Amino acid sequence: MDTKTTFVGLEIKSPIIVGSCGLTSEVSKLRELEKAGAGAIVLKSIFEEQILNEASHNMRNKEFFAFPESYDYISNYSQSNAVDKYIKLIREAKQTLTIPVVASVNCISNSEWLNFAVNMQQAGADAIELNMFILPSDVNMTAEDVERFYEDTIQTIRRAVTIPISIKISTYFTALARFVQKISLMGVSNLNIFNHFCLADIDIDAMTTRPAHIMTNEDEIYDTIRWTAILSNVAKCTLTAGGGVHKEADVVKLLLAGANNVQIVSALYTKGFDFITKCNDFLMQWGDQHNFNKISDFKGKLAIASNQPSAFLRVQFMKYFAEIK
Ligand SMILES: Cc1cc2nc3c(=O)[nH]c(=O)nc-3n(C[C@H](O)[C@H](O)[C@H](O)COP(=O)(O)O)c2cc1C
* CB of residue 214 inside a 6 A radius of ligand 1: yes
Of 95, 136, 132, the residue nearest 110 (C-alpha): 132
* CB of residue 245 inside a 6 A radius of ligand 1: yes
DSSP state of 189: S
User: Do 37 and 74 touch, CB atoms closer than 8 A?
Assistant: no
Bridge partners (DSSP) of residue 104 are 129
* CB of residue 4 inside a 6 A radius of ligand 1: no
- Residue 320 φ/ψ, nearest 5 degrees: -70, -40
Strands annotated E in the chain: 5-7, 10-12, 16-18, 40-42, 46-47, 101-107, 127-132, 165-169, 190-193, 200-203, 208-211, 238-242, 261-264
* CB of residue 49 inside a 6 A radius of ligand 1: no
Confidence of residue 309 (pLDDT cuts 50, 70, 90): low
* pLDDT of residue 181 exceeding 70: yes
The Å distance, Cα 20 to ligand 1 centre, comes to 6
Of 30, 43, 38, 41, the residue nearest 13 (C-alpha): 38
* CB of residue 271 inside a 6 A radius of ligand 1: no
3-state secondary structure of 167: strand
Q: What angle do CA 251, 174, 322 make, to 5 degrees?
A: 70
Of 228, 284, 202, 211, the residue nearest 15 (C-alpha): 284
**310 vs 273, residue with greater confidence:** 273
Q: Assign 3-state DSSP to the chain and report helix, strand, coil percentages, each to 5.
A: 50, 15, 35
Q: What angle do CA 40, 160, 129 make, to 5 degrees?
A: 25
**111 vs 228, residue with greater confidence:** 228
pLDDT tens digits along 243-272: 999 999 999 999 999 999 999 999 999 999
Confidence of residue 56 (pLDDT cuts 50, 70, 90): low
Task: Name the range with the highest mean pLDDT among 46-50, 101-105, 311-315.
Answer: 101-105
The confidence score (pLDDT) of residue 21 equals 96
User: Do 41 and 93 touch, CB atoms closer than 8 A?
Assistant: yes
Residue nearest to atom 20 of ligand 1 (CA): 196
The confidence score (pLDDT) of residue 59 equals 47
Any residues with CB less than 8 A from the CB of 183 and at least 6 apart, and which? 150, 151, 154, 167, 191
The Å distance, Cα 177 to ligand 1 centre, comes to 22
Which among 16, 20, 251 is the best mutation to test ligand 1's pocket, defined by most ligand atoms within 8 Å of the CB? 20
Q: Are strands 101-107 and 40-42 parallel, antiparallel or unpaired?
A: parallel
User: Do 167 and 20 touch, CB atoms closer than 8 A?
Assistant: no
Give the C-alpha separation, 154 to 157, whole Å.
Answer: 5
Confidence of residue 93 (pLDDT cuts 50, 70, 90): very high
| Residue ranges of domains in the chain, CATH in brackets | 5-323 (3.20.20.70)
The confidence score (pLDDT) of residue 62 equals 47
